[in-house]
Each structure stands twice: as structure tokens, then as C-alpha cells.
Structure 1
Amino acid sequence: MKALGQTETVNAQVLAALRTAVITGELAPGTLHSVQTLATQLGVSRTPVREALIKLAQQGMVRFERNRGVRVLQTSLHDLEEVFALRLLLEPAAVRRAVTRMDESTRKELRKLFAAMQKAAKADDEFTMLGHDRRFHRVVLEASGNTRLATYVDGLRDMVLRRGVSTARESRSLDDIVTEHAEILALIEAGDADGAAEAMRVHVQHTAELLIAQEAGAGTGVLDIDLGWTNPA
């Protein structure tokens, strides 16, 4: 990690730097780090580092160990199941509310993000497409009026990224992912709150089933995938 300059946005910079280091594996799973060492490496004081680590601990990315420091946690298959169970509980309900509150400027932003997803998929640019995918979900969740929920779900996605896995190219194509978002967007545009919520539920559950089956196959090969209980209907 590179040293950061002391600016008024230092807290946000520290959080982003540490989050990225954990997701990319620069701070490897299982490793132990002191707040002071991380602060020295980033060129900042201990306070913003500690505050950032507290937020990462709340997201399940690190754990404070008394008199030892902070340990980077490994994401397990069980963690993935819990992440998607939570997303299935939260996202469909948030989408239903978002459709009833959404203004034209937000719908316009979603159209732009979807167009960007299509363009990236056509260019076979997975990294860019998934970035637009993430932003699409974030905009929808923020439109529900619950910023904390949007931030929380965004953090759940980090746990999947930390495992370094994706269904893109492994279990489905980029075009398949775009198609699922096309249905969500069409129902949002139509003002169909229940339909959009159901489309989001189907999308998230499909992602969960593909990803967990994919990871189970790479590991022990034994995993009971049952996320149907999260259907809000």
C-alpha cells in the first residue's frame, strides 16, 4: 500500500486503501497486523486507521484480537451462503420501495449504467462491466431512501470479492448477467414494484446458486444449497 497524503478526506482514503488491500489479498487472509504498522505504511496517524478497521470488522472482513492486533479473515462457503441470504432478505424489499419513490433522474442514471454494462460486455471487459453492475445495484438501493441499507449490501458484496470468485465466465456469460439486469430495469421503468422486486430476487438467488455450487465443486463438492426460505413472498 502506498503512503497517503494528509487531506481532509484522509478517513475515506484510509478506508478505501485498507478495503482494497483486503479484497485484493495484499493483506492476506489469516495475517495479523498492528494499527501502528498500517498507519506507518499509509503515512497517517493511528486514528483514521483504527476507525477504518472498525468499519471493516463490522463488515466481517477483519477481527480485532486483544493485545495482538487485527487479523484479516477468510471468507468461507458458509459466509457466502449467509451473504446471499441477507441480500435476498434485503434487496427485493428495497427494490419494491425504490420503484415507488424513484424520480426520472435516477431512472436516467440506471439507463446509463445499463448501457455501460452492455458496452463493457460487448467489449468482453469483465472488470468494467462488474463495476457498472455494482453501481446499478447501489443506485437502486439508495433510491429506496435507506442509505445505511445500500452501504451494508455494498459491504456484503466485498465479502464475495475477497474470496476472489465470480460467476462471470465460470457459470454464465457477461451477456447472461446483462440480460438479468435488463429485466429488472424494464420493470422499474414500467413502475411495477412487485415485478421488479421479484426480478431482483430471481437475479440474486441465481447468482447465489451458481456461485455457491461453483465454489463447492472446487472444494469438497458437498453443499446443500437452500436459499428459498428468503423469498419475501
Structure 2
Amino acid sequence: MTAIESPYSFLVRPTTLARGSVTAEVTTAIRNAIVSLALPPGSIIDKSAICEQLGVSRFPVSEALARLQIEGLVDIAPQRGSTVSLVRIADVREYMLIRKGLESEALRVLIGSHDASLIEALHANMAAQREAAERDDAETFHQIDIEFHDIIYRSMRFSKIKNIIDSARSNLDRARRLIITPRRLALTIAEHQQIFDGILAQDQGKANRAIRAHIDAVMVELFAFAREHPTMFADGAQLGPDSDSFPFG
């Protein structure tokens, strides 16, 4: 008799579940599935199947979903169950505005005070981006993309700024994955190179314009995608026909 494959086979069962960490491990596993779109927006969440796949009781799964509801990744309706929340363009727009302000200011502070290790790390990261794009490895590219920005924050030791951006990252990452194409990978590399060139030249204005243009370009593409696929977004039907909903300047 052939065993039926779990509908949640993409969820990786933790190798160790220490007492007190079960809910955290389950939360991370489900969050990763939602952010990577393995659990797509609007999909119904079967708690029993998740319990079986992860080898845990219903309590940590229920607690994990409650935590993810607070993060805006899960909708819980009494007597109706849980679903993966739709992406809200309005929220993404606000998060990206926060990123644009913080990252452009962070670059202004950084340039002129950075050391050689930052340049070496960014050189290696740009090379890794190109290698992932050549393989059309979107998931690896996405992680390297995140690392590109994290390298800059680590070099400044601006942990509070990084924490603010990280708190908004789950929904941002989910939205950005929706528009990952070979064309977007190539554009992202070019946009990152412009930022890096500004750092190399110690030109605050150039780097600042580059980071703002990069964020604006991603948002313009996301808005266009949302207009073409409005049902994938909580507020997709509310988007107007204009192409200037973003940037904010």
C-alpha cells in the first residue's frame, strides 16, 4: 500500500524540540513556509496535518498561528479556521517607505567611515548574486539580496535600525517573491551595483539616489503585478489605474 504524502511535506520537522522551544520552532517553520510562498496567500491552514507533519500536539501549532496572526501573516476566524493572510499593498508601501528613509540615511552615515572589510564583503556578495542569477536560483538569490543590505547594517553596528527593518521583513519578503523573475534578478543586480559604486566612490549623493531608486523600482513592479492579480492581495481591487502610487519622492 502506497503511503499518502503529507500536504505539508515542505515543512521541515525540527531535529530537536527542547522543552520550552517547541512553539518557537513551529512558528519559525510555518513562518518560513508562508514567506517562501510554499503556503501561498489565501490558502487554508490544516492544523491537524501540520501537527502530524511536525510531530507536535495542537497547542504549539495554535500558539504559533496566534503569533503569526500578530505578524500579519495569518488570519484566524472563530469557528471557520485559519488561512494565510493576503498581502496588503498598503502595508508593504509603508514598510518600503520606512526602508527607504532608514537605508538612505544609514548610507549617508556609513560612507567615508567604512573600512576595507566592508568592500570585500560587498564584492563577494555581488559575485554571489551574479552566480545565483546565472543559475536562475531565485531562492538563493533572495537570501543573498537580504545579505547585501545586512552587510551594510552590520558594518555600522546599527542594530536598532536593523531590528526595525527585520520586524517588517516577513511581509516584504512575501511580496517581493511574487515578482521574482529573471528580469527582476538582473535589474536588482544592476541596482545593487549602483549602490556599491556610490560606496566605492564615497559619494553619498550617488549611493543615496541609488538606494531610493532601487526601492522605488521594486514597488512600481509590485504595484503593476497587484493590478494584474488583484485577488492575491487584500486591497488589490482598491489600486487605481495610475502608475504613480509609488514612489513618495
Q: How does 1:210-229 map to 2 (within 5 A)?
A: 210-219=221-230, 222-224=240-242, 225-229=244-248
Distance 1:100 1:124, change over 3 A: same
- Does the CA-based 8 Å contact 2:24-2:64 persist in structure 1? no
2:28 aligned with 1:16, yes or no? yes
Q: 2:109 aligns to what SS in structure 1?
A: helix
Distance 1:196 1:28, change over 3 A: closer
Further displaced range: 68-77 or 80-89: 68-77
Match of 1:149 among 161, 177, 186: 161
2:21 aligned with 1:3, yes or no? no
Could you tell me which residue of structure 2 aligns to residue 26 of structure 1? 39
Further displaced range: 7-16 or 194-203: 7-16
Tell me the alpha carbon deviations over residues 149-205 of structure 1, each in whole angstroms, 9 at most, x when there is no partner: 324424534314434511534xx4532221111111111122223331221011111
**Higher Cα Rg, which structure:** 2
Q: 2:16 aligns to what SS in structure 1?
A: coil
The separation in 2 between residues aligned to 1:27 and 1:41, in whole angstroms, is 18
For structure 2, list consecutive stretches of 5 or more residues without a partner in the other structure. Answer: 1-10, 231-236
2:184 aligned with 1:165, yes or no? no
The sequence identity of aligned pairs, in percent, is 24
Could you tell me which residue of structure 1 aligns to residue 143 of structure 2? 131
For structure 1, list consecutive stretches of 5 or more residues without a partner in the other structure. Answer: none
The separation in 2 between residues aligned to 1:99 and 1:11, in whole angstroms, is 41
Tell me the alpha carbon deviations over residues 104-138 of structure 1, each in whole angstroms, 9 at most, x when there is no partner: 22321111111111222233333332321121012
How many residue pairs match? The answer is 226
For normalisation by structure 1, the TM-score amounts to: 0.74
Q: 1:191 aligns to what SS in structure 2?
A: coil
For normalisation by structure 2, the TM-score amounts to: 0.70
The separation in 1 between residues aligned to 2:61 and 2:199, in whole angstroms, is 39
Match of 1:76 among 74, 88, 95: 88
Match of 1:104 among 75, 98, 116: 116
Amino acid at match of 2:199: I
Amino acid at match of 1:79: D
Further displaced range: 111-120 or 42-51: 42-51
Match of 2:201 among 190, 195, 213: 190
Further displaced range: 195-204 or 40-49: 40-49
Q: 2:240 aligns to what SS in structure 1?
A: coil
Amino acid at match of 1:187: G
